């Protein structure tokens, strides 16, 4: 039976050294962000086609991530494997496109095989390498210098610091593009509808409000006892008070009930109109659900009526509805 390996305390020393080496390399990249970075940025901003990102091996993994980050932040991009590109996939590249090539040496055979074709097609070329004098860097319309002092690998062989540097430069490009395009939270939410931000920013009040027979509502002359039954039946901790045309006149909530109890009023002879809260906070069905959250928090309330532009009652919701919808 093979004896299991057990890590020694030296592993902690090595791990910290890796982090320090990579952190120092990332910090040093600030000196590489210069007019070349602006040139690359402007090339992408003026692109009328697509952004294609490519790289071999570990650089290919970084290229995939850069393409994914750009796509989710307002710059449509996709990854193309350079070996696949030389066997037919280059046909998808047009003169309107921008090609971003990653290779630390700048001499990757697979990339250098397709660079002449990319240039002949008229596509713009941006390179990210660790050698500004490399063949790939010299052929590029804009070059980003991702050179590092050393790899974090103890043997200096496995791409570690260099791939981190390339990833950081790609992220810097993506975020600069995001800012230049005015890409905001709602834009991000539209491309991430399944995430929590998408739920918060794309969910409207109409999507979660109670409507139809689920809305608690009583006429102005309803006795308090009957109004309490309506609150209990609908389970929203409140009822709207409306006129014969469904215009909202007021609201009666659990908080109003506590104040009524303090006055020791007769529930069977007291009309709801005499104890309701007038001019209640309301919201339209087309408003974002996050706006309902903001209003509830600002005014310290947990229920809200939903009305149309004529102040007619069309729905109701409470804080639990917003919680269930994962808006908060």
Instruction: Report the CATH number that the domain containing residue 318 is assigned in CATH.
Output: 3.10.580.10
Long-range contacts of range 173-177, CB-CB < 8 Å, 24 or more positions apart? 173/37, 173/40, 173/41, 173/44, 173/66, 173/70, 173/144, 174/66, 174/69, 174/70, 174/73, 174/75, 175/73, 176/37, 176/41, 177/41, 177/44, 177/45, 177/70, 177/73, 177/74, 177/75
Q: 308 is in which domain, residue-wise?
A: 205-324
Domain shared by 174 and 219, yes or no: no
Report residue 6 as tokens: 């057990």
Domain shared by 63 and 151, yes or no: yes
The verdict on residue 189 lying in a domain is no
Tell me, what's the pLDDT at 86? 59
- 302 burial (CB, 10 Å; 0-12 / 13-18 / 19+) is middle
Residue 47 CB coordination number (10 Å): 17
Domain total of the chain:
2
232 pLDDT above the threshold of 60: yes
328 pLDDT above the threshold of 90: no
The verdict on residue 315 lying in a domain is yes
CATH number, domain with residue 29: 3.40.50.10490
Report residue 84 as tokens: 């696949």
pLDDT confidence band for 190 (50 / 70 / 90):
low
106 pLDDT above the threshold of 60: yes
185 pLDDT above the threshold of 80: no
The verdict on residue 192 lying in a domain is no
Averaged confidence pLDDT in the chain: 88
Domain shared by 111 and 178, yes or no: yes
Q: What is the per-residue DSSP string for 110-144?
A: HHHHHHHHHHHHT-EEEEEES-TTSHHHHHSSEEE
191 pLDDT above the threshold of 70: no
User: 315 and 207 in contact (C-beta within 8 Å)?
Assistant: no
Q: CA–CA separation, 209 vs 134, rounded Å?
A: 61
- Sheet of 282-283, strand order: 282-283, 303-307, 313-318
The verdict on residue 306 lying in a domain is yes
The verdict on residue 198 lying in a domain is no
Tell me, what's the pLDDT at 241? 96
Report residue 173 as tokens: 């490009």
User: 177 and 64 in contact (C-beta within 8 Å)?
Assistant: no
Query: What contacts 106, CB < 8 A, 6 or more positions away?
Result: 127, 129, 130, 131, 133, 134, 135, 136, 137
The verdict on residue 9 lying in a domain is no
Higher-pLDDT residue of 191 and 213 is: 213
Tell me, what's the pLDDT at 200? 59
Tell me, what's the pLDDT at 199? 56
The verdict on residue 199 lying in a domain is no
Domain shared by 24 and 159, yes or no: yes
Domain shared by 136 and 251, yes or no: no
Tell me, what's the pLDDT at 187? 54
User: 137 and 106 in contact (C-beta within 8 Å)?
Assistant: yes
Residue 71 CB coordination number (10 Å): 17
User: 178 and 47 in contact (C-beta within 8 Å)?
Assistant: no
Which of 148, 183, 218 is the endpoint of a domain?
183
Domain shared by 228 and 115, yes or no: no
Q: CA–CA separation, 43 vs 142, rounded Å?
A: 8
Tell me, what's the pLDDT at 1? 67
Domain shared by 125 and 229, yes or no: no
Domain shared by 178 and 216, yes or no: no
Domain shared by 153 and 268, yes or no: no
Q: CA–CA separation, 240 vs 313, rounded Å?
A: 8
Domain shared by 107 and 230, yes or no: no
**pLDDT tens figures, 35-82:** 999 999 999 999 988 899 999 999 999 999 999 999 888 888 989 998
pLDDT confidence band for 186 (50 / 70 / 90):
low
Domain shared by 55 and 170, yes or no: yes
Domain shared by 153 and 219, yes or no: no
The verdict on residue 238 lying in a domain is yes
**Cα-based angle 178, 183, 189 (whole degrees, multiple of 5):** 115
């Amino acid at each position: 039976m093979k004896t299991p390996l057990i890590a020694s305390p030296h592993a902690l020393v090595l791990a910290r050294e890796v982090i320090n080496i990579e952190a120092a390399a990332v910090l040093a990249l600030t000196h590489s962000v210069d007019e070349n970075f602006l040139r690359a940025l402007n090339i992408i901003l003026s692109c009328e086609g697509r952004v294609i990102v490519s790289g071999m091996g570990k650089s290919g993994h970084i290229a995939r991530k850069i393409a994914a980050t750009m796509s989710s932040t307002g710059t449509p991009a996709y990854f193309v494997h350079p070996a696949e590109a030389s066997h037919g996939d280059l046909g998808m590249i047009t003169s309107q496109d921008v090609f971003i090539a990653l290779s630390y040496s700048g001499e990757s055979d697979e990339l250098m095989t397709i660079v002449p074709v990319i240039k002949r097609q008229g596509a713009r070329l941006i390179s990210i390498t660790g050698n500004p004098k490399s063949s790939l860097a010299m052929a590029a319309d804009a070059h980003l210098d991702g050179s590092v002092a050393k790899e974090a690998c103890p043997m200096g062989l496995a791409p570690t610091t260099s791939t981190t540097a390339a990833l950081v430069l790609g992220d810097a490009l993506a975020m600069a593009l995001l800012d230049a395009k005015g890409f905001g939270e709602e834009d991000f939410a539209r491309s991430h509808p399944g995430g929590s931000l998408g739920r918060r920013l794309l969910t409207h009040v109409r999507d979660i409000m109670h409507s139809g027979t689920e809305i608690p509502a009583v006429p102005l002359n309803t006795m308090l006892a009957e109004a309490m039954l309506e609150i209990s039946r609908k389970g929203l901790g409140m009822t709207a008070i409306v006129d014969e045309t469904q215009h909202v006149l007021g609201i009666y909530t659990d908080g109003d009930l506590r104040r009524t109890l303090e006055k020791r009023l007769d529930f069977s002879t007291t009309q709801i109109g005499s104890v309701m809260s007038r001019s209640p906070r309301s919201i339209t069905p087309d408003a974002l659900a996050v706006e309902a959250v903001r209003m509830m928090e600002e005014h310290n309330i947990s229920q809200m009526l939903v009305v149309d532009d004529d102040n007619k009652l069309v729905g109701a919701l409470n804080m639990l509805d917003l919680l269930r919808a994962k808006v908060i």
